[in-house]
Amino acid sequence: MTDARTLPRTDAIGGRRPGFLARHAVWIALALALLLLPYLFSSRLALSTMSMMGTMIIFALSYNMLLGQTGLLSFGHAVFFGLGGFFTVHVLNAAGSGDWPIPLPLFPVVGGLGGLAFGILFGWVATKRAGTAFAMITLGIGELVVSSALILRRFFGGEEGITTDRTDVMSFFGYGFGPQLQVYYLIAAWCFLSIAAMYAITRTPFGRIANAVRDNPQRTAFIGYDTSRVRFIAFSLSGLFAGIAGGLSVVNFEIVNAAQMGAVESGSVILMTYIGGVGNFAGPIIGAILVTWLQLILSDATQIWPLYVGLLFIGMVMFVPGGIAGLLAMQAPVMAARKLHRVVPFYLLALAPGIVALVGLSVLIETSHQFSIRASYGPQLTLYSIPLDATSPLPWVAGVVLAVAGGILFMRAERLARDAYHAAVAQGGQG
Amino acid sequence: MRTLIGSSALTLALLGATALSALAQDTLKIGYVDPLSGGGASIGQIGMNQLNFIADEINAKGGVNGRKVEIVGYDNQTNPQISLVQVQKAIDEGIQVIVQGNGSSVAVAVSDFVTKYNDRNPGANVVHLNYAAIDPVLTNEKCSYWHFTWDASADIKMEALTNFIKEKEDLKKVYLIAQDYSFGHAVAGAAKRMLTEKRPDVEIVGEEYHPLVKITDFSPYVAKIQASGADTIITGNWGQDLALLIKAAGQAGLDVDWYTFYAGGAGAPTAIKQAGLENRVYQINEGINNQGYGPAEERAGALMQRFSDAPIYYPRMFNMMDMVFKAMVEAGSEDPGDFVPKLEGMKLDSFAAGDEGFMRADDHQFFQPLYISTLGALEEGQKFDEEHTGWGWKMAASVPTESTLLPTKCDMKRP
Amino acid sequence: MSATAKTPILELAGLRKSFGRMEIIRGVDLAVVQGERHAIIGPNGAGKSTLFHLVSGHLRPSAGAIRLRGESIEGLPPQSINRRGLSRSFQVTNIFPRLSVWENVRCATLWSLGHRYSFWRDVERLDDVTRRTEEILTEIDLIDRRRTPAGVLTYGEQRALEIGLTIAGHADVLLLDEPTAGMSHAETERVVALIRKVSEKRTLLMIEHDMQVVFDLADRISVLVYGEIIACDTPARIKANAAVQQAYLGTEAA
Amino acid sequence: MLEIIFVSTLNGVLYGMLLFLMASGLTVIFSMMGVLNLAHASFYMLGAFFGFEISRRLGFWPALVLAPVVVGLIGMAVERYGLRRVHRHGHVAELLFTFGLTFVIKEVVEMIWGKLPVDYRVPSGLDFAAFTLFSGNYPAFKLFGLLISVGIFIGLLMAVRHTRVGLIVQAALSHPGMVGMLGHNVDRIFMLVFGVGVGLAAVAGVIAGPILVTQSNMAGLLGPILFVVVVVGGLGSLGGALAASLLIGLVQTFAVAFNVSLADLFGGTAAGAILSVWLADIWRVTVAQIAPILPYLLLVMILIFRPRGLMGTRDT
């Protein structure tokens, strides 16, 4: 697996330093994108969705500080997200009723500090160990915190959680943060800052040593580093950013409850990070956007979306272990060799039957769903704007034919695409 | 970092796809925000089925004010945050009537969101119709002009139940068992308070709180109940926490009477039948199948025939939609801004037996006659059994509307 | 150098290690003096690598003492021993496979340059680190391969990187565990030259099977057989030692 | 008091043995293959549903044999065509693979059997009270489940000690590095181990189905607790898994039996008055209320203070 990020970009040997604009092009583009997105998508739903995505991006990146950067698999990361939220909501309520002179944009800091404090506390326990033991400790801590949350009603508000009103606090240069657009910009700003901060951390001595711990903890000890200290710092920092994300979630939704700290949330952040790609800094960003979108959209498209999520998961780990970002990063050498035009046709050639196979599969799944669970709604279903009848053999036969034929063709074409890729990379290597 | 740009492109593509799904507006759309996938789906789907059934009924009669009704399901995965985005989505699609019921946490979040949304967007007028969440805060501390509830709150149900129990001479020792969360505590607390007041001679031999939906083996609890010598159990448990408890009790041969809120819920009748607790389990709700009231039997029969794989329904949902449609017709408008005033104080012959109930304007709580029933082998004239067990609910007592009234702490803010 | 030439920089006294009932190291006494190149030889299973594991902190001794510049280090974790100036390489290549060659070496320089766990400074702007990394890469002759992920280097290059990681941190006592194992003749020569170069101002303790290399490099040789040192002397005298020949060289030569 | 202790012990052992049935397979899979099978409880659920379906058609006894075999074969197929491919991408990938599997199994079960509980009953031949103790009955079927668990424990021990595959498995359990040296049939052994492991979970499903509720969410309830058993018991140790299962079964039942709270311990003292204000939330919380979180507390404690678990042969 190639890890583009860890390759030194400025080796200080014979490299000329590019200008400010060129060096920061990505960041400027990101800032512009965040600024302009609401002009492209101005519906309230789009704003809510983007706000949620921004929060999840921070959350997923904070998780990747553990999984991708330090090699720690945690099953309880949502604990810090949730705790950050609870700290924020309490301070927000206190500030609202006590007229404290703190404007809304500063409240995610409270969440971050809460996440950091508990990251330090739980990290002290969990990071003494690594590997599976670490994973199991985080699982245990997650269960403990969620269960205790239902007992400690004053702080966690029981089942209902705690609500707040973000417009109650001091206004910020005249902005009251009632409209979703203002909230979007608040989240976008924090999102930008957090992405930048977390990216910067990967480029510090600590960030590099965390990579070393991920790759080979034993050797890291022999170059002078205490691996459990490295894990501890990574855990605490990731708690900090998860807490910020939790605070932003409170600002966005004005409610937080114990379920947000639970196993489902922890699982979904793993999903985001892994699907996006753990080996690349931007991977979790892609994953957070995609999974959030799927969470909101997939459930409208089909009732049995968990089945698709499960299949997506299995498919990803089996066929695309590097995640989406890994796939993209694989194209870097091809692009560097200017051979993209040689491979793209093959990709498209593979993609077409691949999509056909997926369509076939979804026809089969949806038809059997209509046939079984939704039987009382009659056998009629509409799929891809085509009316189908689950009791007739047509959709079944069509599904099988599409899935099998598409699958076989895909596998052939995939081999061709693979060859084309390797050829392009090899040629690039010679050139 | 090149992938950063890629991810921005992805966002654009995804959001573009979302935008396309906006549709033209010609039907009256009602948003149903409840779990339609995952663990809560079996319950959420029941409400969805029933709403669709009601929509088909009214559409067959020409719709509401000439508009066809369409039910749009939004899967909230029983998660408050997802619920809010789904409500947002519904609003963006032009929906002003949100139906929701499962989970007090979700109900509080939705009610709070809808209220703030209407505050911040004058003229928006979105209403939250709640058919199942019965945490008393919803009609007390956190009551809202834009929230209506059709299920009797925990206090109301317990008031009625204890009025029934106090007549039972042979009742000596009561055991309270509840799920360890706000609703469970509300049920057990009310039971304790009301029993001590109404039957000081009854001894409460145990008060047990167990974690919510986490217990697989209830036999330790049953052993404890057995050891306490209780002759009666009062519980607010629902779902698997009730089914597993009853099953474990049946296996241990626990000889007690049960007073419950949710023995009619999915899975419980099967467990009661397996445990052989014929006519030992009571439930209190706003109506059962076998009340012998013609209009209800006809309507419920048609519903259950259509959804024979999950032949369950909520009488209160009929009450709710009948009232809402009536209010819309009276107001001549489907905008909640217009029909909400009509709902306040509205009277209705309730679904189960035609007795009158009313929507109290002070807290938007629907007060209705309640019925206490037990599950046993079907008798002559009873039409409906539960979950294909051959056992059905039969009436034990009815509680008139005026005996269910309780004061409220609601300080309603009206626009 | 002269004043301290004869004082031991690394001292093992009565060192023992057992796994369950099996005693692998059975009372080793050894004094490595500052600036010398000291080789440990012995048949397979003699406990050479175990001895290195004890000294470097990878394993805890069952009994006995290890002193580095007079200070006890037995039972300390590896990082503490490393920070006191003792660094080791491994018999089986032990690098950071997903990091680039540049990054591998840079990580190994960080602690000794005092950057510790800093998560607020841009590593690209640490000039001392960059300079040191360049030096080391030049020294091990991998400067042209600096962008390559370490996992895809050739075996010989990985062995060189292994040594690079060991010397990057300013350690003055080096423990090299079979630096030439599995190498071709040409590669071996290259590595021997490298070792000679890097050990110039340092103290070297190495395990080696290739007798050519041992006699070529070492100032003194210790022979470890079944967990005990049966001889410790100059190469010439070791060659002549009857006990060694019987226990070790005899079989090896045949 | 004696009654409570006796009854709690019995209940704890019954529950513990049920846990063991599931955990035994998981611990063997985990110790040998390094795969923490998150879908283990899903196979248990499959066992319950196959048990229900087969006993409806052929009777309970054929179901007790056939359901685990069918589930075992499914498990082997999953290992052969899924896990094995994922193996080279590392343990995290394997773990996520089994995570994805839990969704798929659950949805497929719902498609076939629906979301509501199915009416899976105790077979009539075993549907009687074995004995009456104090005022409670002990169902014969529960005792039968206990017997099966004990039988399987003994059978497993014998198999591990006295068969060739068993010896290889045992060697691999205590020295995972050795697995690679087992030669070319290591693949087949992995497949077999996975199949037998999930088959054992299915036995638990067939037996637990009638006692508990057979529903598509039954896997989610038991999943996490199994990992606790495996880790607390220690890797590579069937005896450890048994001890941990019983321990957790007993801890949970005894915690339920005793209603001690802080209020009971400190109530009435001067410190109690202050504490009751500061700790209002937990002042009246009884041990019974927190019974189900005790295993997780145990898990965290064990991992910190005794990483190899109760009887493990190596660190987790």
pLDDT digits (tens, 9 = 90+) for A377-387: 777 777 777 77
Structural contact between residues B227 and B253, judged by C-beta atoms closer than 8 angstroms: no
Report the pLDDT value the prediction gives residue A10, as an integer from 0 to 100: 46
For B350, the domain range is: 26-152+291-369
| Per-residue pLDDT tens over the stretch D198-231 | 999 999 999 988 888 888 878 877 777 888 888 8
Crossing angle (nearest 10°) for helices D40-57 and D186-211 = 60
The whole-chain average pLDDT of chain B stands at: 87
Which pLDDT band holds residue A18 (cuts at 50, 70, 90)? low
The minimal CB distance from D11 to the residues B214, B223, B309 is found for B223
| Rounded distance between C-alpha atoms, residue A44 and residue C205, angstroms | 70
Average pLDDT of the segment spanning A17-39: 86
| Per-residue pLDDT tens over the stretch A90-137 | 999 999 888 888 899 999 999 999 999 999 999 998 998 888 788 888
Which pLDDT band holds residue C6 (cuts at 50, 70, 90)? low
**Cβ B18–A161 below 8 Å, yes or no?**
no
Output the CA torsion sign for D13, D18, D21, D26.
Answer: negative
Do D and C make contact via 3 or more CB pairs under 8 A? The reply is no
Output the CA torsion sign for C185, C191, C194, C195.
Answer: negative
**Cβ C111–A224 below 8 Å, yes or no?**
yes
Q: Which residues of B touch D7 (CB under 8 A)?
A: 223, 226-227
Structural contact between residues A302 and A366, judged by C-beta atoms closer than 8 angstroms: yes
Report the pLDDT value the prediction gives residue B217, as an integer from 0 to 100: 82
Average pLDDT of the segment spanning C8-25: 90
- Which of B264, B285, B306 lies at the terminal end of a domain, its last residue? B285
Structural contact between residues D240 and D156, judged by C-beta atoms closer than 8 angstroms: no
C75-109 b/e with 16+ CB inside 10 Å = b? ebebbebbbbbbbbbbbebbbbbbbbbbbbbbbbb
Tokens standing for D83? 């896990």
Report the pLDDT value the prediction gives residue B383, as an integer from 0 to 100: 80
Average pLDDT of the segment spanning D56-66: 92
* D46, part of any domain: yes
Report the pLDDT value the prediction gives residue A16, as an integer from 0 to 100: 54
Do B and D make contact via 3 or more CB pairs under 8 A? The reply is yes
Q: Count the residues in chain A.
A: 431
| Rounded distance between C-alpha atoms, residue B364 and residue B143, angstroms | 8
Please name the amino acid found at residue A22.
Answer: A
Tell me the C-alpha to C-alpha distance, in Å, between residue B271 and each of A45, A216, A358.
Answer: 43, 54, 41
| Per-residue pLDDT tens over the stretch B10-59 | 555 555 554 444 443 479 999 999 988 766 777 888 899 999 999 999 99
| Rounded distance between C-alpha atoms, residue A141 and residue A78, angstroms | 11
Report the pLDDT value the prediction gives residue D9, as an integer from 0 to 100: 87
On the question of pLDDT at C105 being above 50, the answer is yes
Interface test with C, best of A24, A219, A233 (most C CBs within 10 A): A219
Q: Judge whether D116 is closer than 8 Å to chain A, CB to CB.
A: no
Report the pLDDT value the prediction gives residue C2, as an integer from 0 to 100: 42
Report the 10 Å Cβ neighbour count for B397. Answer: 16
Report the pLDDT value the prediction gives residue A157, as an integer from 0 to 100: 85
Report the pLDDT value the prediction gives residue B11, as an integer from 0 to 100: 56
Which pLDDT band holds residue C254 (cuts at 50, 70, 90)? very low
Grouping H, G, I as helix, E, B as strand and the rest as coil, residue B143 is: coil
Count the domains in chain D. 1
Report the pLDDT value the prediction gives residue A80, as an integer from 0 to 100: 97
Specify whether B49 is located in the same domain as B148: yes
Report the pLDDT value the prediction gives residue D184, as an integer from 0 to 100: 55
- How close is the nearest chain A Cα to the Cα of D224, in Å? 8
| Mean pLDDT comparison of A48-62, A260-274, C238-252, highest-scoring range | A48-62
Structural contact between residues B323 and B359, judged by C-beta atoms closer than 8 angstroms: yes
- How close is the nearest chain B Cα to the Cα of D138, in Å? 6
For D97, the domain range is: 2-220
| Per-residue pLDDT tens over the stretch D176-201 | 555 566 555 778 888 888 999 999 99
Which range, of B392-401, C55-64, D24-33, D45-54, averages the lowest pLDDT?
D24-33
Tokens standing for C101? 């060659």
Specify whether B128 is located in the same domain as B75: yes
Report the pLDDT value the prediction gives residue C249, as an integer from 0 to 100: 55
* B70, part of any domain: yes
- How close is the nearest chain A Cα to the Cα of B15, in Å? 7
- How close is the nearest chain B Cα to the Cα of A420, in Å? 22
Q: Looking at per-residue confidence, does A44 or A380 come out higher?
A: A44
Interface test with A, best of D26, D91, D303 (most A CBs within 10 A): D303
**Cβ B220–D142 below 8 Å, yes or no?**
no
Among A227, A306, A362, A265, CA closest to A55: A265
Specify whether B296 is located in the same domain as B346: yes
Average pLDDT of the segment spanning D260-271: 70
Chain A residue whose CA is closest to B121: A179
Count the domains in chain B. 2
Structural contact between residues D12 and D141, judged by C-beta atoms closer than 8 angstroms: no
Report the pLDDT value the prediction gives residue D5, as an integer from 0 to 100: 82
| Per-residue pLDDT tens over the stretch C65-79 | 999 999 999 889 999
The whole-chain average pLDDT of chain D stands at: 82
* B380, part of any domain: no
Q: Which of residues 222-241 of D touch A (CB under 8 A)?
A: 224, 227-228, 231
* D51, part of any domain: yes
Which pLDDT band holds residue A2 (cuts at 50, 70, 90)? very low
Q: Looking at per-residue confidence, does D215 or B87 come out higher?
A: B87
On the question of pLDDT at C252 being above 60, the answer is no
- How close is the nearest chain A Cα to the Cα of C98, in Å? 7
- What CATH fold (topology level) applies to the domain C8-253? Rossmann fold (3.40.50)
Q: Judge whether A1 is closer than 8 Å to chain D, CB to CB.
A: no
**Cβ B247–D221 below 8 Å, yes or no?**
no
Report the pLDDT value the prediction gives residue B9, as an integer from 0 to 100: 56
Chain C residue whose CA is closest to A234: C119
Q: Which of residues 201-260 of B touch A (CB under 8 A)?
A: 211-212, 214
Q: Looking at per-residue confidence, does A153 or C14 come out higher?
A: C14
* B92, part of any domain: yes
Do B and C make contact via 3 or more CB pairs under 8 A? The reply is no
- How close is the nearest chain A Cα to the Cα of B396, in Å? 33
The minimal CB distance from A224 to the residues C123, C143, C169 is found for C169
Specify whether B165 is located in the same domain as B185: yes
| Domain extent listing, chain C | 8-253
The minimal CB distance from C77 to the residues A6, A219, A221 is found for A221
Report the 10 Å Cβ neighbour count for D15. Answer: 24
* D286, part of any domain: no
Note the Cα B123 to chain centre separation in Å.
29
* D311, part of any domain: no
The minimal CB distance from D220 to the residues B39, B220, B222 is found for B39
**Cβ A211–C56 below 8 Å, yes or no?**
no
Interface test with D, best of A75, A274, A313, A371 (most D CBs within 10 A): A313
On the question of pLDDT at B361 being above 90, the answer is yes
On the question of pLDDT at C52 being above 90, the answer is yes
**Cβ C77–A200 below 8 Å, yes or no?**
no
| Per-residue pLDDT tens over the stretch B127-137 | 999 999 888 88
On the question of pLDDT at C204 being above 90, the answer is yes
Report the pLDDT value the prediction gives residue D134, as an integer from 0 to 100: 67
Q: Which residues of A touch B80 (CB under 8 A)?
A: 161, 253, 255, 257, 259
Name the β-bridge partners of C86: C173
Chain A residue whose CA is closest to C122: A204
| Per-residue pLDDT tens over the stretch B279-327 | 999 999 998 888 888 888 889 889 988 887 777 889 999 999 999 999 9
The minimal CB distance from B37 to the residues A50, A260, A305 is found for A305
ipTM, interface predicted TM-score of the complex? 0.87
On the question of pLDDT at B413 being above 60, the answer is yes
- Which of B369, B387, B404 lies at the terminal end of a domain, its last residue? B369
Chain B residue whose CA is closest to A376: B307
CATH number of the domain to which B47 belongs? 3.40.50.2300
- How close is the nearest chain A Cα to the Cα of C40, in Å? 21
Structural contact between residues D34 and D251, judged by C-beta atoms closer than 8 angstroms: no
Give the DSSP letter string of D40-78.
Answer: HHHHHHHHHHHHHHHHHHT-HHHHHHHHHHHHHHHHHHH
Among B11, D104, D217, CA closest to A312: D104
**Cβ A132–D108 below 8 Å, yes or no?**
no
Crossing angle (nearest 10°) for helices D140-162 and D186-211 = 170
Counting one residue from chain A and one from chain D, the pairs whose CB atoms sit within 8 A come to: 126
| Per-residue pLDDT tens over the stretch A221-256 | 999 999 999 999 999 999 999 999 999 999 999 999
